[in-house]
Amino acid sequence: MSTFVLLTITGFGLAAMYFLIASGLSLIYGLMGVLNFAHGLFLTVGAYSTWWFGTHLTGLGNVTVRYLVSALIGLCVGALFATLVELLLIRPLYRRHIEQVLVTVGLGLAGTALVQAIWGQDSRPFVTPKWMNETTTVLGAHVPNDRWVEIGAAAAVLVGLETFLRRTRYGLIVRAGVENRAMVTALGIDVRKAFTLVFALGGIAAALAGVLSGVYFSTIDPTQGTNLLIFAFIVVVIGGLGSIGGSALAAVVVGLLQQYVNYYASSGIGDMAVILLLGLVLLARPRGLAGAFAT
């Protein structure tokens, strides 16, 4: 029983990171039609920024304060980086989807190589508050505390994005733009501002995933973003392009499936199970669990 509980909560923790990457990815594709292969780099930028400031802001003393401050800086850097990518690389290629894909693939590869060139290929230990590495006992399972942080952060992002989409004018523009971008512009709305905003939000969420993946895996390395991006793409497709709720549901299914299969079948089989699930969903519901609407 305790093993099952541990697997479940850890699966939710993994799902939280998938969701944080997938939510931005899904909105960006749903609204702009951009398959952003550089999205994993947003995670890497957030993770390395947090790590770098975490190791250099030693004057702050308290590890918890240092972690929170460096994480906040990491999120800001992630948002700034994503905004610049949209303004400088994506916007000039508006409606040229093949070129956009090529540019984001190139940026993802070049960015990863640059991180490797500067900080090396080796994993870097991530400075985290002591209490995050301790455990809480739940039904006999000793659950690492960072899992609660990851789940809580993803839940907060889910609620925040839903509130943004449902309660704000920009959210309305994004939801409408996911359905019919041309008609939104024909109503006199500059949808490009929504593009930049969505990219910035996606950058923040991915950077948050970077901050939390450093805690989850205890280390960061240059390929972490790319590795997680593969599963985030699967989550987006299963959940339905443009759907935040669909991404959340799909992230939970994928995270739990990986954990259960890796433990109860064999380590490594979990990834294959996810691919199989993707195939089944595409056969049964080609538009994903939640269809094309931003919900």
Partner 1 sequence: MSALPAVQRTRPLLSVVDLHVYLGQSHVLQGVSFDVADGGVTALLGRNGVGKTTTIRAILGLVGRQGRIVYGGDEIQSLATHKIARREIGYVPEDRDVFAGLTVDENLKLAERDAEPRYGLVYELFPELRERGKQRTGTLSGGQQQMLAIARALLNDNRLLLVDEPTKGLAPRLVTEVARVLERVAELATILLVEQNLGVVRKLARDAVVLDQGRVVHAGSAPAFLGQPELVRRLLSVSVA
* Sign of torsion over alpha carbons 189, 26, 75, 122: negative
Nearer to partner 1, 148 or 164 (CB): 164
Helix pair angle (145-167, 2-32), 10° resolution: 30
Which of these segments, 103-111, 200-208, 250-258, 287-295, binds partner 1 (CB under 8 A)?
A: 287-295
Cα–Cα–Cα angle for 101, 23, 120, rounded to 5 degrees: 65
Closest separation between CB of residue 82 and partner 1, Å?
A: 23
Task: Report 14-73 residues binding partner 1 (CB under 8 A).
Answer: none
Closest separation between CB of residue 239 and partner 1, Å?
A: 15
Binding residue for partner 1 (CB under 8 A) from 7, 45, 79, 294? 294
Task: Report 176-235 residues binding partner 1 (CB under 8 A).
Answer: 176, 178-180, 182-191
Nearer to partner 1, 31 or 261 (CB): 31
173 touches partner 1 (CB under 8 A): yes
Report the distance separating Cα 252 and Cα 43, nearest Å: 19
164 touches partner 1 (CB under 8 A): no
Nearer to partner 1, 4 or 94 (CB): 94
Nearer to partner 1, 137 or 168 (CB): 168
Nearer to partner 1, 186 or 284 (CB): 186
Binding residue for partner 1 (CB under 8 A) from 39, 66, 147, 175? 175
161 touches partner 1 (CB under 8 A): no
Which of these segments, 9-17, 138-146, 173-181, 208-216, binds partner 1 (CB under 8 A)?
A: 173-181
Report the distance separating Cα 256 and Cα 109, nearest Å: 29
Closest separation between CB of residue 177 and partner 1, Å?
A: 9
Nearer to partner 1, 94 or 148 (CB): 94
Binding residue for partner 1 (CB under 8 A) from 57, 89, 172, 273? 172
Q: The tokens of 287 are what?
A: 């538009």
Closest separation between CB of residue 290 and partner 1, Å?
A: 10
293 touches partner 1 (CB under 8 A): yes
Closest separation between CB of residue 17 and partner 1, Å?
A: 28
Nearer to partner 1, 61 or 188 (CB): 188
Report the distance separating Cα 133 and Cα 218, nearest Å: 9
Contact residues for partner 1, defined by CB under 8 A: 169, 172-173, 175-176, 178-180, 182-191, 293-295
